Chain A
């Protein structure tokens, strides 16, 4: 337990009401979407950058680990207080500070929920494209820290492509700014990009300067059912080869369709063995033509049915199907290992075949869905941990999946990050030299290893 004088000091720094060592609060901040649990020693809800700086300085002086936390929706355990210490929650930092319509930039605090920000900018005709499936509840701070991606990445890129600058509290408690509200800027190292995807290990993000786009005039969402996964995968390649980049190209395999069917009552014919959700956006007349062209290109590839949304509500309903996937998988088996490998787009069918072979070899269900448009496949290994031997089998299968992705020139995480879930597999992807290069940065910036220790890299 932390000594009582530290708790007292924390209370003077951020206010007694914002510091808690109550069991109930420790439990409530002990988990994230990995379903793993580690109890912190204290939960702190700071209200400003200065308070965060003061907390970090104290932690650095006393060598107490600090775990930044947004909504706790991470899939790799980034926000878990694996070594006790302080959970530093951004829930109170939830203000949109500025939407600059003239320069198409916005400044926000890290605790703003992604969808609320999107709605705010869309009200004034602007557009923030990154849209993780967790957008209704995950925070922008968490999105930057994980460099979250989403269905629209195919056309628009990921979170880091929209971050112009940051205010951060360094691991030693200093407050610095990286980048700024200009579209260009090359003074010094690009620390903004370094922070994107740093998983809360190199600094606490306290402000985010975001680039915005004009809101596309219209969009068209189509749900296409295929009779085989190959058809769907070939459709992805065919569309891109046809020089159309849709906003999104999401796919689900047969097992995923079954889960969603059970969870949402989705009406889908049995013949459908794979689904693509395709969305195009832009000028109203252009998207109609694009949609028609897409339908023509994919028709020979085993299309069972095409549903095209005609209203915003219908489009939202199609997306709701996709968003409900992740959590509905529990119907297959109670425990889920959600990996998010990424391979070059054209290698998606090959990768799916590899995964299917691995599932067969280990005789465990593996459910695949994801962002086919950018080769990002969510490989869900479904097991029941209570059954002896299952966990070991799952771990072996996952390692083979990673190796398979790397063989195809891919990566073992397209968007969820490493956290604790993939730390052990880092040597598969990074050379010892590359790992060391990264660790040197961490050591230099965080000499006492207080900021989110034990994440990304296994501690020696």
Chain B
């Protein structure tokens, strides 16, 4: 038993669903699959049937419950705020307990739980990158040269870095007196794949004179384990992060990854008061920067001669927390950026963590819509606030044959800072 809520504890929430069907308009999986089993209403009905013992853990139930990105788009639009993604995650924990984790889920959680193994893998990944990946001239991402287990050879992946971000930077960076102290929770994406994003974040904080601690022994936030139903792994990682992030008193814990933000701020909340206290300090980097005077400082910078047209993709885990304004505000304030909205900026990119591993075809279909919207916006760059989204957006663009590049807003901010 874990402290995370059991499916049984969601009975009231399941009964909250009035079966209106409104979620059909907002569930990206349903948009691609057009089957009631794939939409929130169907998944909630199945979870309810499981609770009532009206159905067992049959293959079809497992399949339908695996068909959820945990994006929370349904909940955000549901008139009764039925927390489908939490219900599905709880159902997956029950499935994992009774049926065991899938082989991919097992492999992934083993790796995520062992920091050293992850570092080693990343390093080998980094040194073998040239062998594994082929460079594509028209895109920023890389595609696999050889098939890797679980990953489609057709998929664009960022290069694993030879030296993880946290090994590149000191654990403590002293800022100016009178400025806050923050802890930077890097998450796996920035640590192993997008170290430049982490470096850009440190530059932005330095620009404001903020002191930063980057605890070396922090780990994965645990969201991939949530998605796989690996409850115990989530708790272990949470405990490790709690320890790492409270070792030194800080005013805020900043993230530059929407999933980490949701992991630390929302998922951990069920684990106890100390975790809620931790969660209360978690802030998305752009919320932090916006609240600490960055837009004003950006406004004082000289305007760039040539502007690049950039659009923004809302990561689900920020959008459903109501964080949509601050990233746009900072992006639009960059001197070299001409900001344009795209249609459907707030729809999921289709990654959904492990979802895209299990259901790459559907994930690609969802991503294809995004790629079209990006192209239609006329932007050269699509900026976002989550490494996972960057990976998926770039993959979708490449599949669509587009030339746009997916970047983190922090990378653009880095270019703008003096």
List A residues at the B interface (Cβ < 8 Å).
Answer: 22-25, 27-35, 45, 71-73, 89, 91-92, 94, 113, 115, 134, 136-138, 263, 324, 326-328, 330, 334, 336
Instruction: Give the complex CA separation of A32 and B42 in angstroms.
Output: 11
Q: From residue A123, how far is it (CB to closest CB) to chain B in Å?
A: 12
B1-44: CB near A (< 8 Å → 1, else 0) gives 00000000000000110111111110000000011110000100
Identity of the chain B residue whose Cβ is nearest the Cβ of A26 in the assembled complex: B55
Distance A334 CA – B54 CA, assembled complex (angstroms): 22
Which residues on the B side are within 8 Å of A336 (C-beta)? 18
**CB pair A327 B49 closer than 8 Å:** no
Q: Which of A24, A29, A263, A326 has the most chain B CB atoms inside 10 A of its CB?
A: A24
B250: chain A residues within 8 A (beta carbon): none
Chain B residues 45 to 73 lying within 8 A of chain A, measured CB to CB, are: 45-46, 49, 54-55, 58, 60-61, 63-64
- Inter-subunit contact B21/A71 (CB<8 Å): yes
CB atoms of A137 and B79 under 8 A apart: no
Given known contacts A33-B18, A35-B18, is B34 in contact with A27 (CB within 8 Å)?
no
* Minimum CB distance partner of B45 in chain A: A27
CB–CB B55/A23 < 8 A: yes
Task: Tell me the complex Cα distance, A115–B25, Å.
Answer: 10
Residues from chain A with Cβ under 8 Å of B35 in the complex: 28, 45, 91
Asked whether A137 and B18 contact (CB < 8 A) given A23-B58, A25-B60, the answer is: no
Q: Which of A24, A92, A138, A324 contacts B64 (CB 8 A)?
A: A24
Within 8 A of A (CB), among B295-314: none
Is the pair B46, A330 in contact by a Cβ cutoff of 8 Å? no
Bound form: Cα–Cα A24–B64 in Å: 8
Contact B79 A31 (CB under 8 A): no
Nearest chain B CB to A41's CB is how many angstroms away? 16
**B25 and A136 contact, CB distance less than 8 A:** yes
Verify B25–A27 contact, CB threshold 8 A. no
Set B18, B46, B54, B80: member contacting A28, Cβ < 8 A:
B46
| Also in contact, A28 and B58, with CB within 8 A (given A115-B25, A324-B79, A327-B80) | no
Chain A residues in 8 Å Cβ range of B36: 25, 28-29, 72, 89, 91
The 7 closest A-B pairs by CB, nearest first: A327-B79, A136-B25, A24-B60, A28-B36, A137-B24, A73-B21, A28-B42
A138 / chain B contacts, CB cutoff of 8 Å: 21
Tell whether, in the assembled complex, residue B22 and residue A334 are in contact, meaning their CB atoms are under 8 Å apart. Answer: no
Whether B22 pairs with A137 at a CB distance below 8 angstroms is: yes
- Contact status B20-A23, CB under 8 Å: no
The 8 Å CB contact of B55, one of A27, A113, A324, A330, is A27
6 contacts between A and B (CB under 8 A): A24-B46, A24-B64, A27-B49, A72-B19, A72-B36, A326-B79
- Min CB distance A244 to B, Å, is 32
Residues of B within 8 A of A (CB): 15-16, 18-25, 34-37, 42, 45-46, 49, 54-55, 58, 60-61, 63-64, 78-81
Across-interface contacts of B63 in A (CB, < 8 A): 24
> Are B45 and A330 neighbours in the complex by a CB distance under 8 Å?
no
| Residues of chain B with a CB closer than 8 A to A330's CB | 16, 18, 80
Query: What residues of chain A lie closer than 8 Å to B60, measured between beta carbons?
Result: 22-25
Do A334 and B15 touch across chains, with their CB atoms under 8 A apart? yes
Nearest Cβ in chain A — how far from B112, in angstroms?
A: 30
Would you give the shortest CB distance from B314 to chain A, in whole angstroms? Answer: 16
Q: Which of B16, B19, B22, B24 contacts A32 (CB 8 A)?
A: B19
Q: Which of B21, B61, B78, B79 contacts A24 (CB under 8 A)? A: B61
Contact A24 B55 (CB under 8 A): yes
Judge whether A94 and B45 touch: CB under 8 Å. no
* A73 CA / B46 CA spacing, docked (Å): 18
Known: A23-B60, A35-B19. A328 touches B79 (CB 8 A): yes
* Docked complex Cα distance between A22 and B18 (Å): 23
State whether A327 touches B18 (Cβ < 8 A): yes
How distant is B342 from chain A, measured CB to nearest CB, in Å?
16
CB-based nearest A residue for B26: A136
B46 contacts which of A27, A71, A113 (Cβ < 8 Å)? A27
> Most A CB atoms within 10 A — which of B18, B45, B54, B78?
B18
Kindly state the separation between the CA atoms of A261 and B36 in the bound complex, as whole angstroms: 30
B45 to chain A, nearest CB (A): 6
CB neighbours of A72 from chain B (8 A): 19, 21, 36
Q: Complex Cα distance A359/B21, Å?
A: 29
- For residue A374, give the distance in angstroms from its CB to the closest CB of chain B: 23
A378 to B248, CA, bound (A): 58
Determine the distance from Cα of A184 to Cα of B208 in the docked complex, in whole angstroms. 72
A7 to chain B, nearest CB (A): 15
Q: Which residues of A contact B54 (CB under 8 A)?
A: 27
Q: Is B21's CB under 8 angstroms from A28's CB?
A: no
CB distance from B79 to the nearest CB of A (A): 3
Chain A residues with Cβ below 8 Å from B16 are 330
Extra 14 A-B pairs, beta carbons < 8 Å, given A24-B60, A30-B45, A334-B15: A22-B58, A25-B37, A25-B60, A27-B49, A28-B64, A32-B21, A34-B19, A72-B19, A73-B21, A113-B24, A113-B25, A138-B21, A326-B79, A327-B20
In the complex, A411→B16 CA distance in Å? 31
A137–B25 contact, CB under 8 A? yes
**A94 contacts B34, CB within 8 Å?**
yes
Bound state CA distance, A330 and B16, in angstroms? Answer: 8
Q: Kindly name the residue among A28, A326, A334 whose own CB sees the greatest number of chain B CB atoms within 10 A.
A: A28
B79 touches A263 (CB 8 A): yes
Contact indicator A28/B22 (Cβ below 8 Å) = no
A22-B60, A23-B58 known; A31 vs B19 contact (CB < 8 Å): yes
| Shortest distance between the CB of B369 and any CB in chain A (Å) | 13
Q: Cα distance A113–B78 when bound, in Å?
A: 18
State which of B15, B45, B80 has its C-beta within 8 Å of the C-beta of A31: B45
Nearest CB of chain A from residue B230's CB, rounded to whole Å: 23
Residues in B whose Cβ lies below 8 Å from that of A30: 45
A31 to B80, CA, bound (A): 17
From A89, A263, A326, A334, contact of B20 by CB (8 A): A326
Q: Given the interface contacts A31-B45, A113-B25, A327-B79, does A24 sit within 8 Å of B19 by beta carbon?
A: no
Q: How far is the CA of A334 from the CA of B24 in the complex (A)?
A: 22
Closest partner residue, chain A, to B16 (CB atom) = A330
Alpha-carbon gap, A32 to B24, bound state (A): 13
With known contacts A27-B45, A27-B54, A137-B24, A33–B19 Cβ distance under 8 A:
yes
Identify which of B25, B61, B81 gathers the most chain A CB atoms within 10 Å of its CB. Answer: B25
Alpha-carbon distance A295/B78, docked complex (angstroms): 33
Chain A residues, CB < 8 A from B25: 113, 115, 136-137
